[in-house]
Amino acid sequence: MKILLCLSIVLTALLAPAQHLVKQETFDAIATEYSGEAAQENTRRIVEYHRIQGSPMMASVAEQVVLPRLKAAGLEAKIEQFVSDGKTKYGTYTSPMGWDMRGGELWIESVAGAKDFKPIMLCRYTDVPMCVSTYSKGGEWSGELVDVGSGTSDTSYQNVDVRGKVALASGYAANVVREAVLRHGAAGVVIYPAAGDRPDHPDMVRYNGIWPRAEELEKTSGGFQISRNQYDMLKSLMRQGAVRVHGKIDATLGPGKLTLVHAYIRGTEHPEREVLITGHLDHPKWSANDNASGSGAMIEAARTLQTLIAAKKLPSPKLTIHFMWVPEYFGTMAYVSNHPELKFCNNFYQPAANDPPCILANINMDMVGEDTVKTNSRFYFTRTPDSVPFFINAIMNDVLGQTREASLYALTGTRNYWQPEAIPYAQGSDHDVFLGLGIPSTMLGHDPDWTHHTSEDKIDKTDASEFRRVGTFATAAVWFMATADPPAWKKVRTGAYADRVQELARRMAEDATIHRDSPNKGSLKNREELGDQSDYLESMAARGDVQAHTRGGQASTSGPRRLTLLPLDASVFDSAGPDDAKWLSEQEARFASDSEGLATRPNFALISFEAVNFMNGRRSTGEIADLLSAEYLVDIDQAWVDRLVNILEKQKLVAK
């Protein structure tokens, strides 16, 4: 009965004429000021730079494009730098070395020793910047090509000798160089697309990096990427006899800096509380949607709000709006490592006078400007995992609905139909870091996208209309959170409970087919929480207030506590003993997602992230197992969580 009442409230809310969280007048002011063309033009400037994390080119784009545009718009803005030297760690991530890149070429110099062979060019950095593996060591080498398959494990080298030769491999460049060059003495590497990887685009080149650590500097080498068609040509030449290639790279690896840009619109009532909007500024030259688009869209968002405030069309916000352009993961990890005070704003809907500085929410923009027809893609925002408060989902849903209703296009953009979607938490960008601090965070992006991390992700794949829609959506959502008054937060909480009831009902329906005969503890947990959330929703509807947290799983026991930032770098498992390594690889296999883009099923990286994020010292491992089972509709028991805790405890990442 209770659930029926709840559903009727939800349905009434859905059917009622739109009463959006953001006042229509405010939304319209933002949508009118925000220019899709300006965001696209920012993007066009950014893609001229080879923006590699820790490199001087990253500092150049920050100093020459982002900062001047913010200052020209009248914003308070500054640059911040952190050490990046291939050995300093932020969380479990080792910062990359600085890489000063000037040029590179790869040629076929001979086939089967034929004297009259005319050299064939395979790569030239000035033509296709992505064809030189990033963080390649400068130098010149030549040798016979040896195809080693994936080239990422010892078995690839059992029957071939690559010493002094050039490894031709399909694995990720960093892993191939570690095996082929560091362990087996190859002179350099050439990376080709793995079988079945987007075979319908045979001329594009993929983005690959070598990521040497400081201690590998002496022995590391350089690499190149070739297209599927180039690989086919090489294979046919190799059938005629030995194929020798010649690589030449003009670059310097050494200590560098991670460069971040900040812009602030200071809050008038609670300047110490922030709504944080992030986007990674790095990636190879050309790379447009990933993520010059998010960076360009953020410059325009900051300009839009600053302009509207200066013109008195909008008041100054109550909380501070903080825009932050980062080197992906490394810059964000460095920033939060250097600001240990950063926490989620508890009692977010009722700030007290002397609250410590905090972050209310994070919106991370990564790949936001797609021409969805050209990239065969759709726009999404990610919902929160259960380990953090979920109110942001209701806000994003509501503002997204408002953005759809507005039917926004740019004058020079496409008329592509807009089909945005709210999707479960998916990993892979800087929102992960903030979620790992307990801060509600969402990623805005597009997926799938066949151009992702390839030489085809260029400015011609962007669309001013998409920039205008996504930019308006993000700006309006940020504005709402930075200005909401208590009655507005009450509306959010009603929406948040309603959203949670829907989510739990969805899980129960799906779970009923998975655990039909024997519901597990997770099934019961979802049922129990559905009851609680329904009560909150009813109380909100009846009295307009309720004393409860918008969060499931409040425990009062004691349990493991994590000691490091999330996410965990994969290298933390490198030193696991044979038993642990076996268990870890079984979990990788059990929870696998074979998607090319965002994971479509909960994989081990996601489940272990969430497990560790639940480890706040107040939940037992049994409780955490139940929460994971409830969230992902899988069978995870206490022994499973205990095992993970034991492995992480040995690395001093978790304390019991």
Give the interface with Zn ion as residue ranges (CB under 5 A): 290-291, 366
Q: How far is CA 274 from the centre of its chain?
A: 21
- Considering beta carbons, is residue 326 or 410 the nearer one to Zn ion? 326
Residues 6+ apart with CB under 8 A from 354: none
Q: Are 47 and 287 in contact (CB under 8 A)?
A: yes
- Considering beta carbons, is residue 59 or 444 the nearer one to Zn ion? 444
DSSP result, 183-219: IT--SEEEE-PPTTSSTT-TT--B--B----GGGTTT
- Considering beta carbons, is residue 292 or 395 the nearer one to Zn ion? 292
- Considering beta carbons, is residue 47 or 106 the nearer one to Zn ion? 47
> Strand, coil or helix: what is 616?
strand
Please calculate the CA angle 49-55-59 and round it to the nearest 5 degrees.
65
The region, left, alpha or beta by phi > 0 then psi within -120 to 50, assigned to residue 510 is alpha
Q: How far is the CB of 596 from Zn ion (least distance, A)?
A: 15
Q: Please tell me whether the peptide bond between 193 and the residue prior to it is cis, using omega within 30 degrees of 0.
A: no
Q: How far is the CB of 429 from Zn ion (least distance, A)?
A: 6
- Considering beta carbons, is residue 55 or 291 the nearer one to Zn ion? 291
Q: How far is the CB of 615 from Zn ion (least distance, A)?
A: 28
Q: Are 374 and 302 in contact (CB under 8 A)?
A: no
* Spatial CA neighbour of 428 closest among 288, 593, 284: 593
- Considering beta carbons, is residue 57 or 168 the nearer one to Zn ion? 57
Q: How far is the CB of 119 from Zn ion (least distance, A)?
A: 36
Q: How far is CA 273 from the centre of its chain?
A: 24
DSSP result, 297-321: HHHHHHHHHHHHHHTTSSPPPSEEE
Encode 203-216: b = buried (16+ Cβ within 10 Å), e = exposed: ebbbbbbbbbbbeb
- Considering beta carbons, is residue 291 or 472 the nearer one to Zn ion? 291
Q: How far is the CB of 543 from Zn ion (least distance, A)?
A: 44
Q: How far is the CB of 390 from Zn ion (least distance, A)?
A: 24
Q: Are 175 and 212 in contact (CB under 8 A)?
A: no
- Considering beta carbons, is residue 452 or 525 the nearer one to Zn ion? 452
DSSP class of residue 644 equals H
Q: How far is the CB of 328 from Zn ion (least distance, A)?
A: 6
Q: What are the distances in angstroms from CA 519 to CA 430, 512, 525, 532, 635?
A: 36, 8, 10, 19, 10
Q: How far is the CB of 280 from Zn ion (least distance, A)?
A: 6
HSE on the CB side for 51, CA within 13 Å?
32
- Considering beta carbons, is residue 366 or 610 the nearer one to Zn ion? 366
- The pair of structure tokens assigned to 656 is 């019991």
Q: How far is the CB of 88 from Zn ion (least distance, A)?
A: 23
- Considering beta carbons, is residue 51 or 525 the nearer one to Zn ion? 51
Q: How far is the CB of 404 from Zn ion (least distance, A)?
A: 24
